[in-house]
Each structure stands twice: as structure tokens, then as C-alpha cells.
């Protein structure tokens, strides 16, 4: 859960501070920063699915 919170906050911070970057850098930065919260959601989902499969 902490990984998800940190990733989202990091993404929001950088999304609000993209002024010094060109378009390609902006896209690359945002895509790479979306990776962390996405992986956190996958990990949470996988853990939940495994937990519910083994009561």
C-alpha cells in the first residue's frame, strides 16, 4: 500500500512540474512514473486474489 501511495504522490508532484521539459521528455517521465503505482496495484490485486483463494 505504501508503494502505491508513494508512487501516486510522486507522479502527481512531477505531473505538476513539467515546465522545463519538451514533449518527448514529458511523455517519457509520466509513462515511467505511472509504472510504479501500476505495479503496486498489480501486487495488491495478486495478493488479494491469492489470499481469497486460500481461506
User: What's the pLDDT tens digit per position in 32-49?
Assistant: 999 999 999 999 999 887
Whether the full predicted model's pTM is greater than 0.75, yes or no, is: yes
**Number of domains, the chain:** 1
What is the reported pLDDT for 49?
73
Q: Could you give the 3-state DSSP secondary structure of residue 21?
A: coil
Range of the domain at 17: 2-53
Q: What angle do CA 25, 44, 11 make, to 5 degrees?
A: 25
Mean pLDDT over the full length of the chain: 91
Give dist(CA 38, CA 9) in Å, integer. 13
pLDDT exceeds cutoff 70 at 51:
no
What is the reported pLDDT for 53?
63
Residue 54 or 38, more confident: 38
The DSSP call for residue 25 is H
Number of Cβ atoms within 10 Å of the Cβ of 24: 8
Amino acid at each position: 500500500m505504501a508503494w502505491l501511495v508513494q508512487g501516486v504522490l510522486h507522479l502527481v508532484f512531477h505531473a505538476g512540474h513539467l515546465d522545463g521539459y519538451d514533449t518527448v521528455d514529458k511523455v517519457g517521465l509520466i509513462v515511467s512514473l505511472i509504472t510504479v503505482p501500476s505495479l503496486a496495484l498489480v501486487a495488491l490485486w495478486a495478493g488479494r486474489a491469492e489470499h481469497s483463494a486460500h481461506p
